[in-house]
C-alpha cells in the first residue's frame, strides 16, 4: 500500500497537534500504561488501522504485556478471566465510544464503567479513546503503512 501523503510537511502540523494530545494522555493523566495500550489496540482493531495496531502491540509487549493476552483483545468479552474488571470497563468504554453512532452510552453502561473509574480518570480515558480514534482517522485514509517490529526477548516479557 502506497501512502497518499507524499509531502510530509503538509501533514506535519496536524501530526504535531495530535502529539500534544497524546503527550497529555501519556504524561499527565493517571491512566496506567496497560489500560492505554488496551484502548489503543482495541480502537485500532475496530477501525482497521494496521499502522496503529502494530505500533501499540509493540509498545504493550515492550511494557511487559503478554502475547497470549494481546491475542485475545478482540474477544475480550469472551475472555473474562484474562482482563481485570478495570481493563474490561476500559475496553467496553473504548468500543462504545469508537462506535458511538450505533452504540449509545446508556445509563447502565455509564454506571458500569464509572464503577471502575473516578471522574478524572474517566475523562482521561475518554480523551484517550478520542485520541486513538483521531490517529486511526488520520492513518487509514492516507494509507500510512505499518511497520514490522521485533518481539521482545522472552526474558524481558512478563509471565
Give the total residue count for the chain. Answer: 159
pLDDT band of 139, cuts 50, 70, 90 = confident
| pLDDT above 80 for 143 | no
Please state, rounded to an integer, the average pLDDT across all residues of the chain. Answer: 90
Question: pTM of the full predicted structure?
Answer: 0.88
In this prediction, residues 32-42 reach a mean pLDDT of 98
In this prediction, residues 129-143 reach a mean pLDDT of 91
pLDDT band of 15, cuts 50, 70, 90 = confident
Show me where the domains of the chain are located.
11-145
Residue 3: predicted pLDDT = 64
pLDDT band of 7, cuts 50, 70, 90 = low
Residue 150: predicted pLDDT = 77
Alpha carbons 12 and 36: distance in angstroms, whole number = 24
Residue-wise pLDDT for 54-112, tens only, equals 999 999 999 999 999 999 999 999 998 999 999 999 999 999 999 999 989 999 999 99
In this prediction, residues 11-19 reach a mean pLDDT of 87
Q: Which distant-in-sequence residues (6+ apart) come within 8 Å of 98 by Cβ?
A: 42, 43, 46, 47, 129, 133
Q: Please check whether residue 13 is in contact with residue 7, taking contact to mean a CB–CB distance below 8 angstroms.
A: no
| pLDDT above 90 for 153 | no
Does residue 159 or residue 84 have the better pLDDT?
84
Alpha carbons 4 and 143: distance in angstroms, whole number = 6
Cell numbers for 32, please give them. 496506567
**CATH class belonging to 11-145:** mainly alpha
Amino acid at each position: 500500500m502506497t501512502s497518499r501523503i507524499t509531502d510530509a510537511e503538509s501533514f506535519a502540523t496536524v501530526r504535531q497537534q495530535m502529539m500534544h494530545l497524546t503527550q497529555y494522555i501519556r504524561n499527565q493523566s493517571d491512566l496506567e500504561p496497560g489500560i492505554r495500550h488496551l484502548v489503543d489496540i482495541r480502537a485500532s482493531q475496530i477501525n482497521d488501522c494496521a499502522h496503529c495496531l502494530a505500533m501499540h502491540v509493540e509498545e504493550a509487549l515492550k511494557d511487559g504485556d503478554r502475547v497470549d493476552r494481546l491475542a485475545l483483545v478482540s474477544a475480550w468479552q469472551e475472555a473474562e478471566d484474562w482482563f481485570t474488571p478495570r481493563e474490561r470497563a476500559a475496553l467496553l468504554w473504548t468500543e462504545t465510544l469508537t462506535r458511538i453512532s450505533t452504540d449509545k452510552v446508556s445509563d447502565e453502561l455509564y454506571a458500569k464503567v464509572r464503577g471502575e473509574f473516578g471522574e478524572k480518570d474517566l475523562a482521561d480515558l475518554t480523551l484517550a479513546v478520542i485520541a486513538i480514534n483521531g490517529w486511526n482517522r488520520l492513518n487509514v485514509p492516507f494509507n500510512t503503512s505499518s511497520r514490522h517490529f521485533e518481539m521482545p526477548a522472552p526474558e524481558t516479557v512478563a509471565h
